[in-house]
Every structure is written in C-alpha cells, then in structure tokens.
Chains A and B, each alone.
Chain A
C-alpha cells in the first residue's frame, strides 16, 4: 500500500540524529549521557512503529521504499542492535576519551543507511544506503582521535571500504548496461527470460558480490576486518560486527531469493559462492588460532561466522539465515559487551593475558562471557547450536554434504580458540594489577539481555522462528 507512513521509522531515526547533534552543543561534558538515553528512546519508538507495521506492506516512492515483513524483521534486528550498542557505549566513551555528541548521531545515521538498504528494491537506493552506512562507519572507527590505533583503523577501513565501493559501482554499471534497469525485480525478470547469461551481466553480478563481500568480510576480502575491529572503540566494533553483516546478507538474500533457480542452474555463481564459503570458514578459524588479542579473535570468529551464514544462502534457506543472524546479534554483541566492561579510565583490557582469573574476580562478567563464547562455538543449549544446526541441516537436505562436512570441521577448530579464552578466565591466577570499573548497571542489563536472547533462542526458538517464517512466506516469488 502506498503511504507516506512507510517513511516514518526512517524519519524518526534521522530526526533523532539531528536532535542529538543539536542538543550536543548545549550539553556539558558530564551530561552527555542524556544523549544516549534520548537516542535509545527514539529508537525504541522506531521499534514500536516497525512492530505496528507488521503485515501492512507500506511502500512509498513508487515502491522504491517498501516495508514488507522481511524488511521489518531486518529493521527490527538492526534497531535492537543499535540500541544495545548505544547503551554499552555510555560508560566506555567517557572512559576512553571519545565522549562526543556526534558519536550517537553517527550511530543513528549509520542505522538510517541500513534501514534504507533493507527496505529497498532498487540497487541504486541500496548503494546510497550503503554509502550512508559506510561514511558514518569510517568516522566512527576513528573516533578515539588521540589514539593512533583508532586512526589507523579508520584509514584502513576507509581505503578498503571505498575500494570495495568502486567495485560495487562498476558492477552496477555493467548490470545497468545489460538489463537497462537497477530494479532487482526487473533484473531478475531479465535473467529468467533471457535464454543465456551474457558475460557483461555475469561480470557485473560478480563485481556486486565482491563489493558486498568486502562489507560482510568474506575471505579473500577480509583483510581489513581484524585491524579495524582491533582499533575501533569496542562498542563500535560490536556494531561493525553485526550491522553491516546483517544488511549485507539481507541484500544478498533479496538478490538471490528470486534468482536461485536460474543462477544456480548455471552453476558458475554457485561454485564461486561455495569456494568463498569454504575459504571464509577455514581461513577465519585457522588464523584465529594464533591470535592473542581478544578483539582480533572475535574479529576472525566473525569472519568464520560469515562463512556459515553463506552456507544458509547457498542452501536457499532464508528462515535459518535470518535465525542465525538473530542469534549472532545477541551472542556477538554480548561478547563485545563483556570485553567493553573490562576497562578503566584510559585503559582497556583486550590481551588474552589480561583475562586470566577474570572468571573468579568478576564472576558475572566471566560467566556471561563464557556462555556467549560457548554459543559462538555452537554448544547446546545455546542459540549458537540451534542456528548452526538449522543451517547445516538444510544444507544437507539440499545435497551440500561436502560443504557441511567442511563446516563442521571448521567449527570444531573454532572450539579450540573459544575454549582458550574460557580456560584463561577460569584456570589461571588473576593478575592483581587488573582493576575495572564494576558499578555499571546499564552494561550489566545489556549483558543479561543478550544472555536471555542467546538462551531463549537456544531453548525455546518457536516464537521467533514463527515470525521469521511469516516474513519469508510473504516474500514475492516470481
């Protein structure tokens, strides 16, 4: 249904960002926390609107902006992730000297870009949304301005991100040249009616996939990930590991969902994705083994998880893809929340040695972090187990048994480095020099919210799965 209301969630997010920028001028350094609460309030409002819009199918701008149920599910996930990231930032940025009002504004702008991406049917609009997200991300990565690592992360992210953008734009040009349109639906129509895939189109599609592969950190386009994750402020790292990944897969799902049959009969793209998926899982997990920085370990683990997610895409199972993304959101933001909480003024504890004995010194942080790590490794009864199980099961049903075998071996390797952190936390003597700021109710509530999410999705996933199935069923098929 064509209605101006389709824009309201997006406008609310942008309005929040502008209000934050405006108020920033009038607030003193000590009172900037209010901006965080204000923006979370706006985002909660946005979330409520998104829930009200369920099944309404509002669209605007000639259908270029469409809030179907799939877009709503992704938007809800992204809004939730942003709220959690904002909440864990409050203490962190004042301790680490990045307490600028534009921090929240940039996060909100990045969210608005992601909302545009998930609710659009036109590759041009998706590209514009991606750029809003990317440009905000480059600035967010470098927001600890005095810290050389942070600036290094920003420049690396900027250079490789714009490099990927150039690929994406060139891919769009070739796509436009062969189909005369950038609407996903008309591209698909062209693909299904065309008797053969011409070279220009195939190269264009390949370049577009490369562009997105950079954003979601698939091997061999992952070089930036560990450095950017290590240098960025930790809550921003949590945001990078979830946000771009969710939107990247949302867009790939939109492109491939209709296109599966044609594309995968030709086998070309299929084989390419297969190889990328294997490389991503194996390389991500193997390099993670020799890392000693917890943020880098989590970076490589997020690369490996992109590989598992790609299996869901190859197996043509949108339900388990979205479920995996939901679980991934909770466990990854949870893990980064635990890392964020280990810090004091001007000091962060991110080396593996710093974690010795944490399990007994700070029992709540240690226990929740352990659960998130178990979930990332895929142990029952956490959500990580079920998510992997659904993905692997549907891949086996579609006849991708070799791929699943490699994936299972890869996740066995991953157990080693996840357990290494847990062993360090519980089986080594705590170092007396390590002191953190423990009184932080907001951080703890996020930690427990993520814990709840991981366990709820692991033990009783029925409700969420039901919603996701509805959203997927409403996707238009050709």
Chain B
C-alpha cells in the first residue's frame, strides 16, 4: 500500500509545475494546458483525501471539477481561436495592446 502522503506530494508537485509553466510559457495554448494540470493536481488531492477519509463526497466533487474544467476549456479555446483569427498568432508577446 502506497502511503497517502506520496499522492499528496505528487499533487503538490504537479500544482507547482503547472504554476511555473503558466508564468514561464509564452504560448496561450501551453498556458491553458498549465492551468488544466493545476486543476488535475487539485483533483488528485481530492481523490486522495477522500480515500483517506473513506468518504465518497470528495470523489463526487472531482466530477464537478472535471465538468467545470470542460466548460472552461470550450469557452477558452473559443477565445483563443478568436485571437488567432485576428492576429494569426497565439503568442503572449503579440497580445499587448493595453499596458500600464
């Protein structure tokens, strides 16, 4: 049996990786993937903690989070498409009309 803490550490590492990737990457799609990794890290934490508490609530919550992530993805990709249609690029340095 693998200890609970391993899973929690894995989820924390995934979350941190996602966060770093979000700040480092200059590509909208990759930034979006980084956010998805962070959400899935949270899902992993939810499942682990639900298992350790032997309650089903936490596992059900994961389904809600997956649904929300899917809805977010559809809107987000639509916005990225809109940007691509206007600029023919999805790099962050090309989207800098507004500053200050």
* Residues of chain A at the chain B interface (Cβ within 8 Å): 124, 127-128, 131, 134-135, 138-139, 142, 145, 148-149, 151-156, 158-159, 162-163, 165-167, 169-170, 172-174, 176-177, 180-182, 226-227, 230-231, 287, 290-291, 293, 296
- Chain B residues 8 to 39 lying within 8 A of chain A, measured CB to CB, are 11, 15, 18, 22, 28, 31-32, 35, 38-39
Closest to B12 in A: A170
B79 touches A163 (CB 8 A): no
Residues of B with C-beta under 8 A to A148: 86-87, 97
With A and B bound together, what is the CA distance between A162 and B79 in angstroms?
A: 13
Report B26-58 CB contacts with A as 1/0, cut-off 8 Å: 001001100100110111011011101101011
- A296 shortest CB reach to chain B, Å: 6
A159-B35, A173-B45, A226-B100 in contact; A180/B83 too (CB < 8 A)? Answer: no
A159-B35, A165-B39 in contact; A170/B15 too (CB < 8 A)? Answer: yes
A145 touches B82 (CB 8 A): yes
CB of B98 within 8 A of chain A?
Answer: yes
A148-B86, A151-B79 in contact; A124/B61 too (CB < 8 A)? Answer: yes
User: For the complex, would chain B's binding face be called helix, strand, loop or mixed by DSSP majority?
Assistant: helix
In the complex, besides A139-B78, A139-B79, A149-B98, 13 extra interface pairs with C-beta distance below 8 angstroms are: A135-B71, A148-B86, A152-B97, A155-B79, A159-B35, A159-B76, A165-B39, A165-B68, A170-B45, A177-B53, A182-B57, A230-B98, A293-B100
Q: Can you show 27 pairs from A to B with CB atoms below 8 A apart?
A: A127-B64, A135-B75, A138-B76, A139-B78, A142-B79, A142-B82, A148-B87, A152-B97, A154-B79, A154-B82, A155-B28, A155-B80, A155-B95, A166-B39, A169-B42, A170-B42, A170-B45, A173-B45, A173-B46, A173-B58, A180-B55, A181-B57, A182-B57, A182-B61, A230-B98, A290-B100, A293-B100
Residues of B with C-beta under 8 A to A227: 98
A131-B71, A154-B79, A159-B28 in contact; A176/B49 too (CB < 8 A)? Answer: yes
How many interface contacts (CB-CB < 8 Å) are there between A and B? 122
Name B76's contact: one of A127, A162, A176 (CB within 8 Å). Answer: A162
Residues of B with C-beta under 8 A to A142: 79, 82
- A214 shortest CB reach to chain B, Å: 13
Residues of A with C-beta under 8 A to B49: 173-174, 176-177
Residues of A with C-beta under 8 A to B95: 152, 155-156
- B10 shortest CB reach to chain A, Å: 13
With A and B bound together, what is the CA distance between A156 and B22 in angstroms?
A: 13
User: For the complex, would chain A's binding face be called helix, strand, loop or mixed by DSSP majority?
Assistant: helix
With A and B bound together, what is the CA distance between A170 and B39 in angstroms?
A: 7
With A and B bound together, what is the CA distance between A159 and B19 in angstroms?
A: 12
With A and B bound together, what is the CA distance between A421 and B71 in angstroms?
A: 41
With A and B bound together, what is the CA distance between A222 and B87 in angstroms?
A: 26
With A and B bound together, what is the CA distance between A290 and B46 in angstroms?
A: 45
With A and B bound together, what is the CA distance between A290 and B100 in angstroms?
A: 9
A151 touches B86 (CB 8 A): yes
- B5 shortest CB reach to chain A, Å: 11
Interface centre among A145, A156, A176, A227 (most CB of B within 10 A): A176
Interface centre among A131, A290, A291 (most CB of B within 10 A): A131
* Residues of chain B at the chain A interface (Cβ within 8 Å): 11, 15, 18, 22, 28, 31-32, 35, 38-39, 41-43, 45-46, 48-50, 52-53, 55, 57-58, 61, 64-65, 68, 71-72, 75-76, 78-80, 82-83, 86-87, 95, 97-98, 100
With A and B bound together, what is the CA distance between A142 and B11 in angstroms?
A: 33
- B74 shortest CB reach to chain A, Å: 9
A170 touches B38 (CB 8 A): yes
A166 touches B18 (CB 8 A): yes
Closest to A229 in B: B98
Closest to A178 in B: B49
Residues of B with C-beta under 8 A to A182: 57, 61
Residues of A with C-beta under 8 A to B58: 173, 176
- A398 shortest CB reach to chain B, Å: 35
A165 touches B72 (CB 8 A): yes
- A130 shortest CB reach to chain B, Å: 9
Name B57's contact: one of A135, A149, A176, A287 (CB within 8 Å). Answer: A176
B38 touches A166 (CB 8 A): yes
A158 touches B76 (CB 8 A): yes
Closest to A173 in B: B45
With A and B bound together, what is the CA distance between A180 and B49 in angstroms?
A: 8
With A and B bound together, what is the CA distance between A296 and B99 in angstroms?
A: 10
A124 touches B38 (CB 8 A): no
Residues of A with C-beta under 8 A to B97: 148-149, 152, 231
